[in-house]
Amino acid sequence: MARNVLESSLLGAGFSIIFQILCRILTFGINAYIVRNVGREVLGIMNVRLLLLESTLLFLSREAINRAALSANSQQRDKCSWAQLINQMWLTVPICAALCAPCLYIWLHWLSAVDAPYSAQYEFACYAVALSCVLELVAESAVFVAQVFCFVKLKIMLNTLHILVRSAIFLWIVIGDRSVAINAFAFAQLASAVTIVLGQYGFFLYYIKRFNRYKLRQQQPVSKTKAIPEASSWERSMFAHMDDFPITKLSELLPGVLSCSSDGAYFNKELQTLTLSFVKQGVLKQILTEGEKYVMSVSPVLSFGEQATYDVVNNLGSMAARFIFRPIEDSAYFYFTQTIARDTRLTKQLPERVRQASSVLNNLLLGVSSIGLLAFTFGQSYSHTLLLLYGGEDFVAGGLPQLLLQWHCLAIYLLSVNGISEGYMFATNTSRDIDKYNYLMAIFSISFLVLSYILTGTFGPVGFIFANCINMMGRILYSTWYIHRQYQPLGLNPLQGLWPGKLFGGTILIAGLICYWYRNAVFGTHIGVGLATGILCLFAWALAHRDLMYLVWKYGRRFKID
């Protein structure tokens, strides 16, 4: 691949963080509007029950296939492989359609019933969400090609458009009639799915046409290029390193169109084996990721109002995970799959690539764990303030939301470490290692569900957070052991990134104590102390890690948007 994978991964992570912050601010604003004007029960139905349906269908349909295809593509570049990869990506559509039937039956008949005023809207919304998932996966082959060829700006622009369309349609309907909020959610989901499909295929229709014209001019003798318009600077920058781009017409993004000349097989057997390994792992990972929502939906542990309270706090506490950790994890996974071969020991791979991967992993762990420590430290003193601004006095009454958010800040730190360490492990594991880890994931999943049910009965909604923290600590121990064992023969230790350093560690400890001392001060003093100590912590971190700051500055200059 002529493109620089590391630079593209860093660019993707940076742009994702910026655009997701802007778009998620809009989403959180809508949730705050619902809490204050529509009601917590409606928010619980939409954000817990319906989004859980969407998450379940999309994750089970495409996660395993996408991860396996990314790994296969790092080693297979010929046109035959691309035909098989495109066909494999289109399997997500019938898989999702097949999963819709059992999932809809469970959501409509097995889970705890929705109150009568919302039952008709809820039923319609379930069908609409299922249809939107199928529609969204129609564009999966185009999404995959864009990901492999590092079309970072396309991904960010379409994700932004997707969120803006969904938010605009929802608000337009709800502001006119608050009683149809669930129907508005359903229509917004359908519209956003159509936006993704039209945006992806519309871009490639335009891109392929320009790319073919560029290739034709490059291949023709100079004397015959007069009839072909001269390539613009944009075309030269876009197409100069795309000699391996396999798509020559839009229809080749459809299944069975690209021809496979070697054996005529529509699918790659090795890819299917790897996919099956990820399928088993994906089911377990989905339980771990959304386990508390499954417990809330299956058993009458919490009412929809309490579910909404937990979901609001969880979303606020997970802002770092959604805005920062997830984009970094996605880009890191892509980078490691393209840099480290799965079936070869590190001692037998290119030393330069291995050292670079170790350095990147070390810096990633250092960055995300530092963010997690900041969230944990300041969350203890500013949880009440954040929730008060978000939901008002009625929302924070009783102290439960504040307690939930304070404990969730511990989960943020563990989540930051687990996302990178486990992501690296998944990106470099062999199929056999993945199968072995699946058994351990099964133990994690079952123990998480059992702990969630037991601890929730004892501690209330906080029990979900306790169970999640215990589960993540177990997963972190295993993934860090894997990393240590892999790099020990080379004398490298990327796990040093988990140690924040004496300067930053001491500064953040003092800052946390100062903020806790002033937690009950007047609002202006309370906020001022937080800002001052926060800036001090950032300055201490930058001073302690000057080399990394220089690296960020260096790449930041290269990633300027023209």
Check residue 91 and report its DSSP letter: T
Which pLDDT belongs to residue 2? 40
- CA dihedral (150, 154, 156, 161) in degrees, to 10, reads -160
Q: What is the DSSP string of 104-155?
A: HHIIIIISPPPPHHHHHHHHHHHHHHHHHHHHHHTTHHHHHHHHHTT-HHHH
87-124 as b/e: b if 16+ CB within 10 A: bbbbbbbebbbebbeebbeebeeebeebeeebeebbbe
Short-list 128, 248, 245, 141, CA closest to 200: 141
Reported as a pLDDT band with limits 50, 70 and 90, residue 236 is: low
Instruction: Band the pLDDT of 1: cuts 50, 70, 90.
Output: very low
Q: How confident is the model at residue 504 (pLDDT cuts 50, 70, 90)?
A: very high
Rounded to an integer, what is the distance from CA 114 to the centroid of its chain? 29
Which ranges in 299-430 belong to alpha helices (H)?
Answer: 304-317, 319-320, 326-339, 351-391, 393-396, 400-428
pLDDT tens figures, 517-541: 988 888 888 999 999 999 999 999 9
The per-residue pLDDT of the chain, averaged, comes to 83
Q: 149 φ, ψ to 5°?
A: -95, 20
Asked if the model's pLDDT at residue 194 lies above 70, the reply is: yes
- The answer to which of 172-186, 212-226, 376-390 has the lowest mean pLDDT is 212-226
- Domain ranges across the chain: 9-201, 204-253, 277-495, 500-562
**Can you say whether the dihedral through the CA atoms of 73, 75, 78, 80 is positive or negative?**
negative
Cα atoms in the 13 Å half-sphere on the side-chain side of 246: 26
Residue 76 has pLDDT above 60, yes or no: no
User: Taken in order 138, 144, 149, 154, is the CA torsion positive or negative?
Assistant: positive
Q: What is the pLDDT of residue 4?
A: 58
Q: What is the pLDDT of residues 130-184, one digit of tens each?
A: 999 999 999 999 999 988 887 877 888 888 888 889 988 999 999 999 899 999 9
Of all residues in the chain, what percent carry a pLDDT higher than 70? 84
In percent, how much of the chain has pLDDT > 90? Answer: 31
pLDDT of the residue at 223 = 52
Using a cut of 0.75, tell me whether the model's pTM lies above it: no
> What's the mean pLDDT in 454-462?
82
